[in-house]
Amino acid sequence: MCGIVGYVGCKNASQILINALKKLEYRGYDSAGIAIIEDDDIIVRKCKGALKYLEEKIANEVIKGTVGIGHTRWATHGEPSDTNSHPHASMDGSISIVHNGIIENYAELKAKLQAQGVVFKSQTDTEVVVHLIDKSYKQHKDIFKAVLEVLHVVEGSYALGVVCKDYPDRVICCRKESPLVIGLGKNENFIASDVPALLEHTRDVYYLGEKELAVLYTDHVDLFNFEGEKIIKEPSHVEWDMDAAEKGGYEHFMIKEIHEQPKGLTDTMRPRIIKDGNGKPTDVYFEENKMDVAWKKAHRVVITACGTAYHAGVVAKYAFEKIARMKVDVDVASEFRYRNPILDKDDIFIVVSQSGETADTLSALRLAKQNGLKVVAITNCVGSTVSREADDVIYTLAGPEIAVASTKAYTTQVLCMFLLAIKAGKLRGTLSEEDAVKLLTELESIPEKIQTILDGKETIQKFASRQFNKDKIFYIGRQFDSATSLESALKLKEVSYMHSEAFAAGELKHGPIALIDDKTLVVAIASEPELYDKIGSNMVEVKSRGATVLVITQDKTCAFDGKADEIFQIPECSSTLASLLTVIPTQLFAYYCAIQRGYDPDKPRNLAKSVTVE
C-alpha cells in the first residue's frame, strides 16, 4: 500500500515530506517522490528505489517551497521506474498529484484522453486522474471544482493529494476506500496515509471519512463531502506510540494483515469482473486477455510454488477440475525441476509467488519456458522477476505484507485462481453463463463474509487460550477442505512453533490415528454438506480416543452436535468458494496461539519473507 504525505505551512516542505515518508517505509514501496510549489512553479523530484536515492537526488538542490506532497509507491500498474513513480503531473506541469489505490476504469478514460490529444508519460492508472483534473480546471478555472468533478468520473479506491501552482497556499486531498489522515499543527497542517508520518509534528488529527475532501491551508482546514458541501467534525487525539501507530492500532502486523483481507480481496477482484448494464457480474477480464487461445487448447494445467503459495495451488487443483474440468498437476517447486517432469507445449504452467523472487519457483518457470509452455505468474510484486519472465502476469493487489507468515497474500492468490478457473471454464465451454454469474456474484460477497468472521474473532481467541498448550494439532478435511488444512497446519507451525499436521480426513485410519490421545487437538474443516456424515464419523473416531475437536463449518442443521467440543460457524457459502472463508479462523487461531505462548508472530524464528536461495 502506497504512502502519501503532504504539508502546508511556513517551513521547508521538502525535508518535512522526506522525513514523513521515512515513517511510512514499513508499508513497503519501490519508488518515492515529492512535488513542491516554488515561485509559481511545481518542482517534481522522484526516482525508483529506496528513499535514500531520492535524498541523494535532491541533496545539492535548494528547494525553498513551503507547500508540497510526497509519495512512496507500491507498484500496481506499470513496473517500478522513475517515470512510473509519483507524483504525476499535468502536461503543462501546473498540477501534480499523488495517489493511493486503484482506478478501475482508467483504461477507458485513458483512451478518451489520448483521443483528445493528451500525451501520457507513464504506465500508471494515476496519470489519468491528473489529466482529468487538468482538463476540468481549464474549463472551470477553479481547482477545487475540478477535483470534485473528477471524483464523480473515476471509479475504484483512492486517496489523493493535489497541488496546483495557481493555488500556492493549499493542498487538496480526498479519499474513497483508501485511508487518509489530516494532521493539525500550529500554523501548519499535514496529510498522511497513516498516523506515524504525523506524530513528530502533532497528535491532533482528522480521520478523513469515506467520500470526504479537505482543503488544507496554513492556518485552517476545510472539510467537505463529495457533493461539495462543508462538513464539521471534531478532531481526534492520538494516544498511540510510534510502534502501535505503524500497525494501525493492532498489536502486530500479522493480525493487521488478517484484518486487511476483505479490502485486499476487493481490490484484487473488482478490476477483473466484467458486469452488464444492470451491474450483474458476467465474466472475468485479465489484461488484454492474451492467453485466451492458449486456455482453449490447453491439455492440462501445471501449478508449481512453495510453502503457502503451493497450498493455494492445491486449492486451485480442485477449482480447475470442478469449474473448468481440466486436468491439473500441482508440484512443490523445489522438487519439480529435479524429477525430469513430463511436459506438453499445450500445457498451461502457473507459478505462484508472493515476492515474485522465490528461487525454486523461478527455476521451475525457466524449465517450463525451455519446454515451450505458456507461463502465467501470480504474484504480489509488480516488476518482480517472475512477472517479467512469464508470458502473462496476474497481480494479487494485496498490498505489501510485513509479517513473515502470509495471510492476505494467500487468500488473494486463491481468489486469482478461482477467477482463472472461471475464465477457463467459460472459454472452454464447461461453465455455463448461469453458473458463471452465480460464482462471480458469490465471489463479490466473500469480503463481507470474511468481515463477519473477523467480527466474531473473540470465539477463536478464547478457544486458543484453552488449547495453546496441546502437544499435537491435526487438521483434517475433505476435498477443498483438505487443501485448506495444509495451509492451516503450516500457519500454526510458523508462528506458534506447535507441532501441527494436516491429513485428508479419510487417511486418519490409515496410520495417523495411532497418534491420537488426550493431548491432541483435531481441527476439522467441513464446508461440503454432502460430506458432513463422512467428516462427522472422523470426528467421532478421534474424540473417542480422547482428542479435543473443533469444527469449522457453515452447517446450520446441527450435524456436528455431540461430535465436537467447539463449533465455529462461518457464513453460508458454496463449497466451491468456501476455502476463502474456512482459512480465516485458522489464521486467527495460529495468531492467538503464538500470543498465548509468548512469541512474536511477525518474526518467526529461522524464517524469511522471501526465499531467494534454494
How many residues in total does the chain contain? 614
Cα separation, 234 vs 442, whole angstroms: 39
Q: Which of 379, 390, 333 is nearest to 357 (CA)?
A: 379
Point out the catalytic residue in the list 2, 47, 164, 173: 2
Residue with cell 498437476: 329
> Catalytic residue at 609?
yes
Single out the catalytic residue among 145, 211, 493, 609. Answer: 609
158: cell is: 483512492
d(C-alpha 33, C-alpha 536), whole Å: 57
Sheet holding 67-73, edge to edge: 41-48, 31-38, 67-73, 3-8, 189-192, 181-184, 204-207, 236-237
- What is the grid cell recorded at 442? 458469490
d(CA 241, CA 245): 6
Q: What DSSP designation does 541 have?
A: H
Contact indicator for 384, 356 with CB cutoff of 8 Å: yes
Residue 263: helix, strand or coil by DSSP?
helix
The backbone torsions φ and ψ at residue 369, rounded to the nearest 5 degrees and listed phi first, read: -65, -40
**CA 360 from centroid of its chain's CA atoms:** 23
Euclidean distance between CA atoms 169 and 126, whole angstroms: 24
Residues 34 and 5: beta-carbon distance below 8 Å: no
Query: Quick check: is 2 catalytic?
Result: yes
Task: Enter the C-alpha cell of residue 3.
Answer: 504512502
- Evaluate whether 526 touches 586 at the Cβ level (below 8 Å): no
In the sheet that holds 520-526, the strands lie side by side as: 500-504, 472-477, 520-526, 548-553, 566-569
- The single-letter DSSP state of residue 351 is E
The sign of the torsion formed by the CA atoms of 137, 138, 142, 143 equals: positive
Nearest to 506 by CA among 481, 487, 489: 481
What is the rounded distance in angstroms from the CA atom of residue 260 to the CA atom of residue 265?
9
C-alpha span between 535 and 541 (Å, rounded): 10
Q: Do residues 569 and 558 lie in contact, with contact meaning Cβ atoms separated by under 8 Å?
A: no
The per-residue DSSP string of 416-442 comes to: HHHHHHHHHHHHHT-S-HHHHHHHHHH
Catalytic residues: 2, 609
